[in-house]
């Protein structure tokens, strides 16, 4: 008679180290995707969609050029304030504030679908800037510090480029269908809502076992906190003129092609470049990777001042788009490695310096153009700032 107490041959086996590793890798990918979606919404939609919508709103009479300039400046000022506020947020609250930024971004996009008076429009763009910085700093903090998914940085930062591409093509399709700019803003709000919903659940996760941040050993070629902050701030000044006015100063060179497609090229360059610059950072160290990144970016910024052809504009969009988020992809892990050397949130302070650069850039541009439409001098100054930033990385 068989022993009824004999162990069953069908008893479930315990997970092996390999299956546990595969499961953790799957979770890591999912969390990096969630962070990427957060940046796609708050940055790609909430911040940069305005670049493509600017000329359409002026065309439809929902905003004047002067109001648009004030709204852009307000957005940059809000970004600076958001970075300063993010510096005071503990890592443990990063997921919560990422969700706040997502919800606020969807609301701000929907608000732009209303026929707002100039003052209200400027206020909405200011709030959008605050939310963009909160999302960038807190999504990075959540993924890198709270969840400890350091290898997810390039995928996360590629979310900005993905958001730019999606929002730009939504704008292009709506423009082709002859939608009013207010309807386009509503479409962007719906798109942002869908992407936010996909990221929402993961962003609720708290610190996992063993994910506590330790004092990482800086690799050879590391930058100190001061040159890292200074070069990052100059990078904000260097890219912002291209990022703000690109569809505006290319519109006469493309014939029947919608200038928004050039902006999509900007985003297409940004998304995969994060992986390239992450790899170069690991191989070359922070100093050399930043020097190469800022040097290529300078070449892309100055190109439209040297050649007023469609090809030059497309190459410029690809080069600047392919480096500006690469700068962040290099700088954020570098800041994490230096976190133990400072008593403040280094990446938040760097983001604030970047915000200052973004505010100063358009002001300098306006002063140099003297009311004209020649962007040559502003682009030259911006490229010079990027060269100086690259030089600082060698000190």
**Which residue, of 183, 206, 229, is where some domain finishes?**
206
8 in a structural domain: no
- Model confidence pLDDT, tens digit, residues 350-391: 999 999 998 888 788 777 776 566 778 889 999 999 999 999
2 in a structural domain: no
Written as six digits, the tokens of 129 are: 């800037």
The DSSP code sequence of 99-114 is HHHHHHHHHHHHHTTS
**Which residue, of 206, 227, 258, is where some domain finishes?**
206
Please tell me whether residues 185 and 275 are part of one structural domain: no
Please tell me whether residues 302 and 195 are part of one structural domain: no
Residue 217's contacts (CB-CB under 8 Å, 6 or more residues apart) are: 337
Please tell me whether residues 201 and 221 are part of one structural domain: no
- Model confidence pLDDT, tens digit, residues 319-345: 999 999 999 999 998 988 888 888 888
Please tell me whether residues 380 and 245 are part of one structural domain: yes
**Which residue, of 171, 206, 241, is where some domain finishes?**
206
Inter-residue long-range contacts of 357-360, CB under 8 Å, 24+ positions, other chains counted = 357/233, 357/234, 357/235, 357/236, 357/237, 357/238, 357/240, 357/385, 358/76, 358/79, 358/80, 358/236, 358/237, 358/240, 359/73, 359/76, 359/77, 359/80, 360/237
Going residue by residue through the chain, which has 395 residues, state the pLDDT in tens, using 9 for 90 and above. Answer: 445 444 444 555 555 655 555 556 678 899 999 999 999 999 999 999 998 898 899 999 999 988 988 898 899 999 999 999 999 999 899 999 999 999 999 999 999 999 999 999 999 999 999 999 999 999 999 998 899 888 899 999 999 999 999 999 999 999 889 999 999 999 999 999 999 999 999 999 988 655 444 444 455 567 889 999 999 999 999 998 888 777 766 766 666 667 777 888 889 999 999 999 999 999 999 999 999 999 999 999 999 889 888 888 889 989 999 999 999 999 998 988 888 888 888 999 999 999 999 888 878 877 777 656 677 888 999 999 999 999 999 87
22 in a structural domain: no
Please tell me whether residues 222 and 200 are part of one structural domain: no
Please tell me whether residues 237 and 370 are part of one structural domain: yes
10 in a structural domain: no
50 in a structural domain: yes
3 in a structural domain: no
19 in a structural domain: no
Asked if 147 contacts 208 with a C-beta cutoff of 8 angstroms, the reply is yes
| Integer Rg of the chain from CA | 22
Distance, in Å, from the CA atom of 31 to the CA atom of 206, rounded to the nearest integer, reads: 11
pTM of the predicted protein model? 0.85
14 in a structural domain: no
Distance, in Å, from the CA atom of 89 to the CA atom of 26, rounded to the nearest integer, reads: 28
Please tell me whether residues 246 and 391 are part of one structural domain: yes
Please tell me whether residues 237 and 300 are part of one structural domain: yes
Please tell me whether residues 237 and 171 are part of one structural domain: no
Please tell me whether residues 194 and 256 are part of one structural domain: no
Please tell me whether residues 227 and 371 are part of one structural domain: yes
Q: What is the CATH number of the domain that holds 252?
A: 1.20.1250.20
Please tell me whether residues 56 and 183 are part of one structural domain: yes
Q: How many domains does the chain have?
A: 2
Residue 128 structural domain: 30-206
User: How far out from the chain centre does Cα 292 lie?
Assistant: 20
């Amino acid at each position: 008679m068989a022993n009824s107490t004999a162990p069953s041959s069908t008893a479930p086996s315990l997970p092996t180290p390999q299956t546990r590793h595969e499961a953790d890798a799957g979770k890591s990918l999912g969390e990096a995707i969630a962070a990427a979606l957060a940046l796609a919404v708050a940055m790609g939609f909430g911040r940069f969609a305005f670049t493509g919508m600017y000329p359409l709103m002026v065309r439809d009479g929902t905003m004047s050029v002067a109001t648009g300039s004030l709204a852009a400046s307000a957005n940059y000022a809000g970004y600076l304030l958001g970075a300063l506020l993010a510096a005071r947020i503990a890592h443990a609250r990063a997921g919560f504030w990422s969700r706040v930024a997502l919800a606020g971004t969807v609301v701000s996009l929907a608000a732009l679908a209303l026929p707002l008076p100039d003052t209200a429009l400027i206020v909405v763009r200011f709030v959008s800037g605050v939310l963009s910085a909160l999302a960038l700093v807190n999504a990075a903090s959540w993924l890198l510090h709270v969840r400890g998914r350091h290898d997810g940085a390039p995928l996360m930062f590629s979310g900005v480029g993905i958001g730019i591409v999606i929002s730009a093509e939504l704008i292009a399709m709506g423009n082709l269908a002859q939608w009013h700019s207010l309807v386009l803003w509503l479409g962007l709000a719906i798109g942002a809502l869908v992407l936010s919903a996909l990221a929402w659940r993961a962003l609720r996760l708290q610190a996992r076992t063993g994910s506590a941040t330790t004092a990482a050993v800086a690799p050879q070629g590391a930058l100190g906190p001061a040159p890292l902050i200074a070069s990052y701030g100059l990078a904000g000044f260097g890219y912002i003129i291209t990022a703000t006015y690109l569809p505006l100063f290319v519109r006469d060179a493309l014939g029947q092609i919608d200038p928004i497609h050039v902006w999509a090229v900007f985003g297409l360059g940004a998304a995969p470049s994060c992986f390239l610059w992450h790899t170069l950072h690991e191989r070359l160290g922070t100093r050399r990777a930043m020097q190469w990144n800022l040097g290529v970016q300078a070449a892309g910024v100055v190109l439209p001042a040297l050649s007023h052809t469609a090809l030059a504009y497309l190459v410029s969009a690809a080069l600047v788009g392919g480096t500006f988020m690469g700068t962040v992809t290099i700088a954020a892990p570098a800041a994490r490695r230096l976190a133990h050397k400072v008593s403040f949130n280094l990446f938040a302070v760097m983001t604030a310096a970047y915000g200052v650069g973004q505010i100063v850039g358009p002001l300098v541009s306006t002063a140099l153009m003297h009311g004209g439409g020649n962007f040559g001098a502003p682009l030259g100054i911006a490229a010079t700032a990027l060269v100086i930033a690259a030089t600082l990385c060698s000190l």
